[in-house]
Chain A
Amino acid sequence: MDVLTLSRLQFAATTMFHFIFVPLTLGLSVLTAYMETRYVRTGDETYLKMAKFWGKLFLINFALGVVTGITQEFQFGMNWAEYSRYVGDIFGAPLAIEATVAFFLESVFIGVWIFGWNKVSKATHAVAIWLVAIGTNLSALWILLANGWMQKPVGYVLRNGRAEMVDFLAVVTNPYGIIKFVHTLTSGYMVAAFFVMGISAWHLLRKNRIDFFVRSFRMAATFGFVAAILVFLSGDFHAVEIAKTQPTKFAAMESVWETQKGVGMNLILLPDPQNECNAVERLCIPNMVSMLAFHTPDAEIKGLKDFPKELRPPVQPTFWSFRLMVGLGTFMTLAALAGVILSRMKNLENRTLFLRVMLLALPLPYIAAQLGWIVAELGRQPWIVYGVLKTADGVSKAVTTPQVVGSLVGFTLIYSLLGAIDIYLLAKYARKGPDDDLSGIIKPATVKGA
Chain B
Amino acid sequence: MELQITWFVLWGVLWAVYFMLDGFVLGTGILHNVIAKTDGEKRVLINAVGPVWDGNEVWLLTAGGATFAAFPTTYALMFSYLYTALLLLLFSLIVRGVAFEFRGKVESATWKKTWDVAIQVSSFLPALLFGVAFGNIFAGLPMDANGYHGSLIGLLNPYGLLTGVLFVLLFTVHGALYLSVKSVGELSARAKGVADKVWPVLLVVAVAFLAYTKFATKLYDNYLAQPVLFIVPLLAVAGLVGTRLFSAKGATLAAFAASCVTVLMVAATGVAGLFPNLIPSSLDPAYSLTIFNSSSSPYTLKIMTAVALIFVPIVIAYKIWVYRIFRAPVTEAEVLNDTHAY
Residues of A within 8 A of B (CB): 59-60, 62-64, 66-68, 70-71, 73-74, 76-79, 81-85, 87-93, 95-101, 103-104, 107-112, 114-120, 159-160, 162, 164-166, 168, 396-399, 403, 406-407, 410, 414, 418, 421, 425, 428-429, 435, 437, 439-441
Contact = CB atoms under 8 A, between A and B. Distances in A.
Main secondary structure of the interface of A (DSSP, over half): helix
Given A96-B304, A407-B83, 13 more contacts: A63-B100, A73-B61, A74-B90, A76-B75, A77-B76, A88-B68, A100-B312, A103-B61, A162-B72, A396-B76, A396-B80, A414-B95, A425-B105
Interface of B: 47, 50-55, 57-58, 60-62, 64-66, 68-70, 72-73, 75-81, 83-84, 86-87, 90-91, 93-95, 97-98, 100-102, 105-106, 147-148, 296-297, 299-300, 303-304, 307-308, 311-312, 315, 318-319, 322, 325-326, 337-342
Contacts of B60: 70
20 contacts: A59-B101, A66-B97, A70-B61, A81-B77, A88-B73, A91-B68, A92-B65, A93-B304, A93-B307, A96-B304, A99-B66, A100-B308, A104-B319, A159-B297, A164-B296, A396-B76, A396-B83, A399-B80, A414-B91, A439-B339
Contacts of B72: 84-85, 87-89, 92, 162
Given A81-B80, A398-B148, A108 B322 contact: yes
Contact of B338 (A88, A118, A421, A429): A118
A104 B62 contact: yes
A183 B152 CA distance: 42
Nearest to A429: B105
Contact of A117 (B70, B83, B340): B340
B65 A96 contact: yes
Contact of B58 (A84, A99, A162, A168): A99
A331 B117 CA distance: 46
B315 A100 contact: yes
Given A77-B68, A111-B52, A165-B299, A70 B75 contact: no
A92 B319 CA distance: 25
Contacts of B80: 77-79, 81, 396-399
B87 A111 contact: no
B91 A398 contact: no
A399 B73 CA distance: 15
A8 to B, nearest CB: 16
Contacts of A418: 94, 98
A67 B50 CA distance: 15
A112 B322 contact: yes
